[in-house]
Structure 1
Amino acid sequence: MSIQKGTDPEMAKDGLEVTASHSSSRDHGPAVREGTTDHLPSFEHEKRLALKMDLRLLPVLAVMYLFNALDKGNLGNAKTDHMDKDLGFKPGQYNTMLSIFFVPYVLFAPPISMLGKKFGPHRVLPILMLCFGSMTLLAASVKNWSGLMALRWFLGMSESAFFPLVIYYLTTFYRRGELARRLAIFYAASNIANAFSGLFAFGVFHIESKLEAWRYLFIIEGAATVLFAIFAYWYLPKTAYEAWFLTEEERQLAYTRIQIDSSAVVGEKFVLKDALQILKLPSSWGFLAIEVCLGVPLQSVSLFMPQIVQALGYSTIKTNLYTVAPNIGGACMLLILAFASDYTRLRFPFIALGFLLTFIGFILFATQDVYNDHVVGYYACFMMTWGTSAPSVLLSTWYNNNIADEGRRVTLTSIGVPLANLMGVVSSNIFRDKDLPKFMPALITTASFGAAGFVIVLCLGSFMIFDNARRNKAQGVNLAARDVSTEKLRDGPNSPDFRWFL
């Protein structure tokens, strides 16, 4: 198989020419038919292939993540229906329960992600979904704080590797320049879930029964999650080049695309010692520092948006209803920035913009009299969701774009994403009941993390620009990341041909 240079606008940008040797030299991919050039793949072939994967893969993954976000974040909605009083929580116990979730979430994410790489995300992801759906179902039967604490531990364990594995899974289907908008479509399900959870809670809390309304919330969401997990186990394809919904020629093209613009070795076996080499790179620690700065505002919005909106003086039912629009706005902003990022082949400027919006949103809410000026306060809630949505997706895309080794890619993602979620421990302990109704210390702390993230992103992006220029000067060429095939980048920045994907 050969892909003609210049037939695809993306490939023309990338400066890549693919020959049969890219596929035939590997044992993992489909056999490539050599011979005449009558059926050379073109831009239209790639476009049709990408669209077919979009339609068959993204909706299912998006629904899976929607349930993931619902099952993780429904405690905030349940609390507005007085779950804490019904279960006899003592002061501080609700925050402790939120915090305990993140301990197993961080501890188990790397090993489960590595198992996902070994046995395939197409199998591990539905199993994880079945587990966290079951935990949500069981939460409807708890009688006290300790029972819910135990369930939150196992919920954190079962959700730990879900997002990292989805990110890795999508990198095996899409080229680097296609990834951000696909991840954004997938991640928008989280914002929709946050919006839907408020709307759904609004409806559920109108149920009149001897059973507390918040228990119905867990029953309905948990049951739906379990049923969809069973469907996903049957449906998800193992890899792009083994997808049941592709023709043989499409599988060959899918394999070649990943070989030249995603992975150095497609389908490479996971070797722990080699995968851990990613932690020797200074850039990896820069990415992890940004994840920490992102985690606090991201988790603050995810866990406490109902309480932030409630500070405007709304009733319980209206509070849940009014969380819908900001989360929908966050999903829209995420898609806008992600599509713009893929179009420009730039990541860090849009990540920095997200951090800036986060900072402004929390500072605005903290400094204005939002109780008497609902318009300003509610607008600040929109800015919070705008700022926290986009950086999460684009940051994961940024460092995955710069790692051609599949094992190292899944390793850094399995550390970075849970690290951001670990900051939920900070968020859940800075939003204290004694600071009601406005949570001023929490707002200032969250804004500070947003400002720090903005600075670190600009510093790391500036270093990459400088290093690319240095490498070009040393080689006497003018190359960008899109000009170098990932097949040459097994050693990452140690390769002389390496260029940072900005």
Structure 2
Amino acid sequence: MMVTRFLLGCTEASLSPGFTLITSLWYRTSEQPLRAGIWFCGNSLSLIFGNLIAVGILQIKNSLKAWQWLFIIFGLATFLWGTLMLFRLPDSPTDAKFLTEEERIIAIERMRANQTGYKSSKIDRSQIVEAFKDVKTWLLATLILACNIPNGGFTTFNGLVLQGFGFNTFHTLLLGLPGGLIVFLFVLFGGIVSSKVPNSRCLVMVGMIIISILGSALVYAGTSIATRYAGLLLMGIYSASMPVSMAMISSNVGGFTKKTTVSAIYFIMYCTGNIIGPQLFFTREAPKYQSGFLAIIICLVICVIVGLALLFYLRWENSRRDKMSVGAVATANQEKYSGATQRELIDTTDLKNMEFRYVY
């Protein structure tokens, strides 16, 4: 089982960073939060439909156990869909066989305004170094680490907490459905607002995390089952901020190698948080797990602080660049890139392109 889980992790590792990169190569900056939110909705939809299917699987009575049928059915579906994706999902408009030559040019031209560069097969070591030196990288890394320590604990122990209310496995699965629906709606809401309202991304993230803090407090301090269950439903909303933070990478990081590096750091922190989270829930405290939920509250408060810090840093950097663009820096950039067309698609980083403006 441990070997199988390890192999599953290996195959799963490329999904979110890969989808984030693909999103950045197909959609404009203003379009990315909603598109990232749509594919991220698979997480919440899987909770809804997965639990419903699991309820049905529980009714299978033969030589194989229910959890074995769960792995067979979901594993086979994933394998077949993955095979289809391998042959049908293009990684960029230049590889899309379903586009005509004219449509391919239009798709590439749409990306000019992003000024984040375009796909390059060459690994630029200077961009890797810059990614590690960039303040934004570590603000985003801290944000996702602090956000996924609660994620690791919540996803692992949510069902056990529900069972601690006195419910059996059947009812625990059914009671998990509303949480998936709520997260689904908030993911779409966050994506739409972030796409339609300029520079609202950090505030959208902070707002959803604050709701989760409220939910965590209800679970931590609540005494009745109804109060604690309501808290569990609100707790999961923090995860709706994650597609918005992914869009922050695709929109705010210029240079293909730098973007892939920042994405890698981001998802390493994502995995690290999910490793740490379950360790903060102690068996002796079941079914309330007070220490675990207190740790979740602390981490979510850190997320709010870092989210606001990222907001003010990006605003400050834009203001600084606006002041500099009046003078010699704008002239130097113009000479260096010799025209807007070349500059907008050249594989340069956001720190080197002083006409780049961040979204927040």
TM-score by length of 1: 0.65
Matches within 5 A, 1:119-130: none
- Which SS does the other structure have where 1:172 is aligned? helix
- Which SS does the other structure have where 2:253 is aligned? coil
- Which SS does the other structure have where 1:314 is aligned? coil
Deviation at 1:215, TM superposition (A): 0.8
- Which SS does the other structure have where 1:337 is aligned? helix
Identity among equivalent positions (%) equals 20
Aligned equivalent of 1:290: 143
Deviation at 1:399, TM superposition (A): 2.3
Q: Which residues of structure 1 form unaligned runs of 5+?
A: 1-147, 478-483
Aligned equivalent of 2:99: 246
Q: Which of 28, 47, 53 is residue 194 of structure 1 equivalent to?
A: 47
Aligned equivalent of 1:163: 16
In structure 2, how many angstroms separate the alpha carbons of the residues matched to 1:178 and 1:270? 27
Matches within 5 A, 1:6-45: none
Matches within 5 A, 1:220-231: 220-231=73-84
In structure 1, how many angstroms separate the alpha carbons of the residues matched to 2:205 and 2:225? 29
In structure 2, how many angstroms separate the alpha carbons of the residues matched to 1:475 and 1:252? 30
Aligned equivalent of 2:284: 434
What is the number of residues matched between the two proteins?
A: 345
CA contact (8 A) 1:404 1:486 kept: no
- Which SS does the other structure have where 1:332 is aligned? helix
AA at the equivalent of 1:376: T
In structure 2, how many angstroms separate the alpha carbons of the residues matched to 1:488 and 1:305? 47
In structure 1, how many angstroms separate the alpha carbons of the residues matched to 2:311 and 2:197? 15
CA contact (8 A) 2:36 2:246 kept: no
Give the superposed CA RMSD.
2.1
AA at the equivalent of 1:270: K
Aligned equivalent of 2:62: 209
In structure 2, how many angstroms separate the alpha carbons of the residues matched to 1:488 and 1:215? 51
Specify which structure has the bigger relative contact order, considering alpha-carbon pairs within 8 angstroms and separated by 6 or more residues. Answer: 2
Deviation at 1:476, TM superposition (A): 4.5
- Which SS does the other structure have where 2:148 is aligned? helix
CA contact (8 A) 2:115 2:254 kept: yes
Cα 1:334–1:262, aligned 2, differ >3 Å: closer, same or farther? farther
Aligned equivalent of 1:275: 127
AA at the equivalent of 2:123: V
TM-score by length of 2: 0.90
Higher mean alpha-carbon deviation, 331-340 vs 236-245, is at 236-245
Deviation at 1:284, TM superposition (A): 1.1
- Which SS does the other structure have where 1:207 is aligned? coil
In structure 2, how many angstroms separate the alpha carbons of the residues matched to 1:476 and 1:355? 38
In structure 1, how many angstroms separate the alpha carbons of the residues matched to 2:22 and 2:8? 22
Aligned equivalent of 2:33: 180
In structure 2, how many angstroms separate the alpha carbons of the residues matched to 1:216 and 1:392? 31
Cα 1:359–1:167, aligned 2, differ >3 Å: closer, same or farther? same
CA contact (8 A) 1:365 1:377 kept: yes
In structure 2, how many angstroms separate the alpha carbons of the residues matched to 1:488 and 1:475? 19
Higher mean alpha-carbon deviation, 414-423 vs 175-184, is at 414-423
In structure 2, how many angstroms separate the alpha carbons of the residues matched to 1:226 and 1:351? 33
CA contact (8 A) 1:489 1:497 kept: no
AA at the equivalent of 1:393: P
Q: Which of 300, 303, 308 is residue 161 of structure 2 equivalent to?
A: 308
Deviation at 1:307, TM superposition (A): 1.8
